[in-house]
Amino acid sequence: MIPDLAIRRQLLRRKPLQSFQDDAEQGGLRRTVGLFQLTMIGIGATIGTGIFFVLDSAVPEAGPAVIISFVIGAITAALTAFCYAELASAVPVSGSSYSYAYATLGEFAAYAVGWCLLLEYAVSGAAIAVSWGQYLNDLTQRLFGFQMPAAISAPPGAGGYLNLPGAVLVLLCCLLLVRGTKESAVANTVMVLVKLAVLTLFVVLGASGFHSSNLHPFAPLGMAGIGTAASTVFFSFIGLDAVSTAGEEVKNPRRTLPLAIICALVVVTAVYVLVALVGIGAQPWTAFSGQEAGLSTILAKVTGSSWPGALLSAGAVLSIVSVVLVVLYGQSRILYTMGRDGMLPSLFHRVHPRSGAPVAGTVTVGLVVAALAAVVPLDVLADLTSMGTLVAFAVVSAGVLVLRRTAPDLPRGFKVPGYPVVPVLSVAFCGYLLYKLPTPTYLLFAGWMALALVVYLLYSRHHSRLQFTDSEPDLELQV
């Protein structure tokens, strides 16, 4: 009984909130990011996935009703965004939902969420990088009349064998991140502004070819198709999570973090719905199936000219770079925080004295994501991303409920409106989208979590900082 009790104490021990604050003040990361740049990080991590890639695969699943799928995804993201905003303002540190779970649900729950986040970021970064090659080929074809061979540029399993452009993109973003957070944030801001300008051009020009007849039948595959497409497009909203990974590099984090999360959500949702509506209105929904670089193709059809499509492809090439950049940034910060807590080797917690960047974690992330982008099929990557994202989002929402009960007087820069209905609905929506994911995704996810359990039992629970600072942790929540 004693060993069982000891293990139970380890699994349920919580990291005190004061420890988070002390870590942030004594950490090696530098506070160089303001509200505008942080909002651009959120936008940069989302727009590009849902528009430049997912639309081509989600429309065949739901037809014109994919617009409703985006709305469902946006509602789920909004419910969760409020929860993220509250926890980010209460626990303004790096690590995102991993840190929030450590403060509310206990060590093992936090550890499991951390592995979900690592899966989410690695897989989504690879999925986005794979789609980059399609737009790069479209751009070179429109401008110079040639393309890279499909064997090295198409998604693995869809005509490609080794996705070289995706791997190269990941490594280039990794090199930029190693130079430092400030430089990376500035580069990301420029790319996001270009991205928004290009998508505005698509909406304006694409609207001229809008035909309401393309919206009929609106839901040819019924509610089942809408739900399936909603699960597919949901990984487009992981940028909200990326904002919260910057907790220790943001100026005035209690105010800046919640504002950036909400501002990013509003901009992203508006762009997604507008572009999806214009794209579907400009061509029959059946034309999206198997269509590469779909938005560029739509503009070429509508305008009868090649330059709008070339411009959009150029914008897509640049904007997808910003998504990969932010995804790699977020994952390296999660590794940084887990390394500091002893959940992973301390190597990931070390920062370069000049750049202030966690170089080891960044390089590790870059190599793993580049390998995934090179060899793993695209549809597998997208569904795995949704799985990791939804689990992390549900934990954050549950964390709000726990922290309101256990630390009601904790200073918060933002509080969830409609509490407790909003966090409960957030958990319910996440559960619904998880239910719609295919069985193979569950099997892959189970394998990933089994690996996480092995690492925890053999390494993490013995190296946890709480193992040495709190030898007799109370089973009740300590804040």
Q: What is the CATH number of the domain that holds 414?
A: 1.20.1740.10
Structural domain total, the chain: 1
In a domain, residue 10? The reply is no
pLDDT digits (tens, 9 = 90+) for 195-210: 888 888 888 888 888 8
pLDDT for the residue 475: 35
d(CA 419, CA 330): 28
d(CA 418, CA 171): 44
Is the confidence at residue 227, as pLDDT, over 60?
Answer: yes
pLDDT for the residue 1: 40
Nearest to 252 by CA among 40, 476, 16, 37: 37
Higher pLDDT, 8 or 269: 269
In a domain, residue 26? The reply is no
Higher pLDDT, 183 or 281: 281
Query: How many other CB atoms are found less than 10 A from the CB of residue 109?
Result: 19
pLDDT digits (tens, 9 = 90+) for 166-189: 888 888 888 888 877 677 778 888
In a domain, residue 381? The reply is yes
Is the confidence at residue 293, as pLDDT, over 60?
Answer: no
pLDDT digits (tens, 9 = 90+) for 310-360: 787 787 788 788 888 888 888 888 888 888 888 888 888 887 777 667 888
DSSP assignment of 441-469: HHHHHHHHHHHHHHHIIIIIHHH-HHHHH
d(CA 311, CA 327): 25
In a domain, residue 27? The reply is no
Higher pLDDT, 459 or 311: 459
Q: 354: which residues sit within 8 A by CB, 6+ positions away?
A: none
Whole domain around residue 65: which residue ranges? Answer: 33-466
Which pLDDT band, with edges at 50, 70 and 90, does 474 fall under?
very low
pLDDT for the residue 23: 67
In a domain, residue 240? The reply is yes
Higher pLDDT, 305 or 79: 79
pLDDT digits (tens, 9 = 90+) for 440-456: 888 888 888 899 999 99
Mean pLDDT of the chain: 80
pLDDT for the residue 450: 92
In a domain, residue 471? The reply is no
